[in-house]
Amino acid sequence: MVTSTNPTGTASVTTHGRFSYPAVLIDNFMRSCTRGSQAKKAYCACTLDKLSNTVSTQDFTRIGLSGGSQAGWVIPLAASRSRGVAFATIQSGPAMSVGRQRAYALLTHEGALEPPPSDADVQSALATQPDAGFDPRPALTALRIPVLWQLGAVDKRQYTPETVANLDAIASPSFTVRVYPRGAHSLRDTANGLQSEEATSPGFVAGLFGDLAAWLDVNAGK
């Protein structure tokens, strides 16, 4: 099937795949892809042509969000406000308020403090720390989409035990939580999640990408 349109007024875009795209979709794609740079037009048109053979217009309505760290706040808020978001994956993202996350990160010096504070010290410090700033839990409670969290057990920037406890309290059947025992904030393999260990880590924790791929196979195509 051939679809031809002239979205930018300077050159036609033709797709040859089995899926026909409306002019408005092609127009929006080209404007977003080129971002005003005429030098990118040929590349963007070629990309769209390839997509037209495997991606239907229905696929464009299924948006997946993925991100790390502060995405733990951004993704739930965005997903709770858009019916177009179908699934999400979050790596090392806090399911706790900004105030409590910052208190934890200051206590650990974001992983720079050696030796790191003990679990007892962390719990004692956070016991008197109120929630402050943005709290993702209302947005998380409103979600009805599958979401995967991949968390490091020794993360020194966001407090994984509290994130897991908050997600358990919401008890959504569409949430999946994976905790990697030696995972730092970067999800690199470390003993204690320290910045110095991240710099010399042999790589990411075992199972990280396999778990992500397996989860996407089950949830991204629904």
- Tell me how many domains the chain contains: 2
Per-residue pLDDT tens digits for 81-124: 988 889 999 999 999 999 999 999 999 999 999 999 999 999 99
Same domain? 33 vs 102: no
Q: Which amino acid is at 104?
A: Y
* CATH at residue 145: 3.40.50.1820
pLDDT tens-digit readout, 182-204: 999 999 999 999 999 999 999 99
Distance of CA 37 to the CA centre of its chain: 28
Residues 95 and 126 in one domain: yes
The domain of 101 spans 62-219
In terms of domains, do 40 and 111 share one?
A: no
| pLDDT score, position 131 | 94
- pTM of this structure: 0.76
Residues 6+ apart with CB under 8 A from 114: 194, 196
The helix/strand/coil state of 66 is strand
